[in-house]
Structure 1
């Protein structure tokens, strides 16, 4: 045997030895790793080994009776409808009856998927216990708000099927899709097939809530019928939690993202974290003109759901919560109540920021009134009428001068013009306008035209504004001297009902002009002017460094 052949034989023997060792040792190593993995798993908690209590219809009904019996001065249980199977649909009204309801915000709390998403309902039940308690913030909430709470809107699904739909497969959350809604009138087309939807709409129509929060969560909805078993959920079932919107509907959210952040911060303080939709995914929102790049945009799409009915009809602020842990849902609902009990950023009155119904370049038509009920009535009326409002401001905007002109009828809208000379000519023969004062103010400035936003022409008989109207200007200085504020050329005095209010907040001095019902009924043209001294000096423009200017000068 040559030396080379001997080396080859040794290599073969070595390889065979290594392979044999690996073949014999590997199972032992795998068994050791498997044992180690099992020990790690054994050390972890296994909450799913215990089932959660499954609420029955009798327990639910008796609990509502118990609350009403033990807290008669805090809660009233009303029946708002009945299912096709004859199951009552209860709603709890929680408030302090010693306080006048005219002075209260109205908050609607629902679990429109309760229904199968049980942690949404159980979070609401925890919230009810808190709202009935002696906690100082709960007491303050009952004093300042009327809470309307519907923990289970779809008892057939909650207690019988764990499916989204009622017995005719209509989901109260969506109303069964936009095909079941008339989006011109916002009427539900199938009232006889979905009494659950009609019950919610009747509450919204009766109370015109300032805010509607819809609470969702975990359940058995994704289980196939043959997987439901005893229909008891296991402990530890959770989900990613979200606030203010829904993955399926990006428009189901408050208009002010700071509200969502405020609510989330309360939950974070309690130890929970929240997914923030497109912000966390770092994607832009979808729009119809961006369809070609939709695979690069946030997956959420705008849809009309039942909760949008309040917004569509009454400018109700809507938001949704997804709840994985009831204590997280409770913390966030408590934070929402706190917003309603306090003065929000830039607002004059306490309560939810819901009163601006139309806007144009930082100028706003807003609800009139010094009480929540008066503002609610005004807001509801103005929200219905606002598409026909035409608006204008002097342009370019100029420090020391603010204007906001609003026409609420076709006739008044025809008087607005982008041309300053034509506009002033149109105002000459209007008996309610002090033409000379208006002309003096307008011609004293450097503006070149009016920027005009035309409203929709009213096709039906135009109705007068019967609940009052207010207008807001925002002056970008902290402490300006408000020299002259006029409506239709007539000087105004400070007054919360018939005049103006001014306050600082959120970086602006806000000026609100208030027109009471007795005047708004007879008016369709509102020409607001505000002259002010900023009382501070700000710089404008930019020029190159002096060295550059000198260099240019030397080359001349």
Structure 2
């Protein structure tokens, strides 16, 4: 009979020594400290970053392995720590642009048992992976490992949280998945291509990557999903709170759970995620993780966090996220090629007074309502002067909320659906902006126009872009 032994790994009483050796090896790059106790062992944390670069310029990522008896996950986080201190050029860039917080082995009780029977247990007999409650709290005495992770999430308010899971015995494996199969429908991150790029890094090295096609099912959000006949056709999830859900709810964090069958596959995927966090991603100009968009209408015109550096964007992200109930936006539908308009509301009472809760309008009636708030829209009216069609104003404001308070303003991003679009005029609340008052970039066959507002913007913000583009053909295509 083939015997499956526990995977090679650090002994529980050697973890502190191993991690403190990181700091001795690279004191300018690594700080190691104890954050709590589990099973009589210290819970150790490592912060890795290039201390010569101001923290305000850095994104933040927390890497952990909550099910510590799933040893391949723990080994993966330790291995990433070794890579970050290796002197590799990519590792150096990551540490220049980010602060990486590693919590490789929080549930030391479970880890020290080296027994799969303790995979989901701690000294209190509970699964710390699901120890967060619906009040967004953790019992520090009963769940010290989950509480340690919560402390780090609250302290750093990270852009990225990765939780590595996996296997305990050598010679065993699991389906390698990234960002899938977890409680509370924590399936996918904000930009699916982020996960796909992570997976591609492992696939390029020869590792099998799960296609996830069976997970692309509908979420159980409609009454039909509760009928026994159809339940198995929906993604049910489970009503449990996780650290990733907590980080998302509190801080708009990009939370990714991953299964690791072979450690190198997990390491390659995480390194790729950290690499992506160093560069401007798909529809952004600023470097960093895809957490900047707070509100979007069908992924076109969007509200983004403001600020000049990573720290200001983080503060802005939290301000906007925590006041999202009181933020609204509207678009004029259908969109008119050559003209794009986007309205943001930071004062629901004023938005309701101006245009109500949306619906069918003539364009001029829509502008009449906004001018009651004091806007001068003469320039905007001239752009739409020869357009007679009615528009449908689609609004997101729902409650009579308080005035949104901001310290770094926000960005309004308008997505013009032509790669060759050339803005002629960009207006904010009727004022024509100079080229220095907005920015433009092209990605994915879109031309994006971004307007950074003042730190304390007006209650209602109407952005309009007049642009030119190459002629397109409409109608039936004959072949």
**TM-score when normalising by structure 1:** 0.79
State the partner residue of 2:366.
Answer: 423
Report the counterpart of residue 72 of structure 1 in structure 2.
Answer: 27
2:121 aligned partner:
165
Q: Distance in 2 between matches of 1:135 and 1:453?
A: 49
Q: Distance in 1 between matches of 2:19 and 2:477?
A: 72
Shift of 1:191: 4.1
Higher helix share: 1
Q: 2:185 and 2:390 mapped to 1: Cα distance? A: 40
Q: Which residue of 2 aligns with 1:21?
A: none
2:190 aligned counterpart, secondary structure: coil
Any idea what the Cα deviations from partners look like across 1:400-453, whole Å, max 9, x if unmatched? 00000111112222123443444333233434x223223333444344124222
Deviation string, structure 1 residues 345-390 (Cα, Å, up to 9, x no partner): 2221222111000012411000112312211111111111122222
Larger radius of gyration: 1
Separation of aligned partners in 2, 1:283 and 1:196: 32
Alignment deviations for residues 221-242 of structure 1 (CA, whole Å, 9 cap, x no partner): xxxxxxxxxxxx4x31222211
- Residues 1:149 and 2:95 aligned together: no
**Which residues of 2 match residues 14-413 of structure 1 at below 5 A?**
48=3, 52-83=7-38, 85-114=39-68, 116-160=69-113, 162-175=118-131, 180-182=133-135, 187-188=136-137, 190-219=139-168, 233=169, 235-246=170-181, 248=183, 250-277=185-212, 279=213, 281=214, 284-289=217-222, 290-291=224-225, 292=227, 293-298=230-235, 300=237, 304-361=241-298, 362-413=300-351
1:506 corresponding residue in structure 2? 444
Deviation at 1:99, TM superposition (A): 1.0
The equivalent position to 2:398 in structure 1, one of 456, 459, 462, is 456
Partner of 1:24: none
Partner in structure 2 of residue 539 of structure 1: 473
Query: Per the alignment, in what secondary structure is the counterpart of residue 427 of structure 1?
Result: helix
| Mapped contact 1:358–1:365 kept (Cα < 8 A) | yes
Report the CA distance between 1:394 and its aligned residue: 1.8
SS at match of 1:307: helix
Tell me the TM-score normalised to structure 2 length. 0.91
Change in CA separation of 1:494 and 1:78 when aligned onto 2, cut-off 3 Å: farther
Cα RMSD after superposing both structures: 2.3
Aligned-partner Cα distance in 1 for 2:388–2:454: 33
Gap runs ≥5 in structure 2? none
CA–CA separation in structure 2 for the residues paired with 1:52 and 1:390? 52
SS in 2 for 1:471: strand
Conserved in 2, the CA contact under 8 Å of 1:397 and 1:447? no
